[in-house]
Amino acid sequence: MGGDHKEPLTLQWASNEESIQGQLRAQGWVKGTDVSAHSLLSLASPNVAAVSLPVLPKLNNNGMPSSLVFMRPGDTRDERDVLRFWPSR
């Protein structure tokens, strides 16, 4: 619950959603946990792994939420990596 510990890295490339999902899943990434009543209740648990916590929404510079969110376990149970994707024209 300490928040972000690293700066975001912004990249842009041409691809489609299916290709991105397939490539990330092949590398061990999973879809981010949606915010729900169950995932919010996990915030109160003292022994929950970081990958079980909801991935909270984040907006880009234009105020749009990310359309795809993926995560994978970090080096410890308390860490995770999160990838967020926004479409561009």
* Residue 39: predicted pLDDT: 64
Q: Compute CA 67 distance to the chain's CA centroid, rounded to the nearest angstrom.
A: 11
Its pTM stands at 0.75
User: Which one, of 17, 2, 1, lies nearest residue 85 by Cα?
Assistant: 17
* Residue 5: predicted pLDDT: 65
Rounded Cα distance, 71 and 84, in Å: 9
Is the CB of residue 85 less than 8 Å from the CB of residue 66? Answer: yes
* Residue 22: predicted pLDDT: 94
* Residue 51: predicted pLDDT: 79
Give per-10-residue mean pLDDT for the chain (89 aa): 64 86 93 73 73 82 88 89 86
Rounded Cα distance, 15 and 9, in Å: 18
Rounded Cα distance, 83 and 9, in Å: 10
- Residue reference for tokens 């842009």: 12
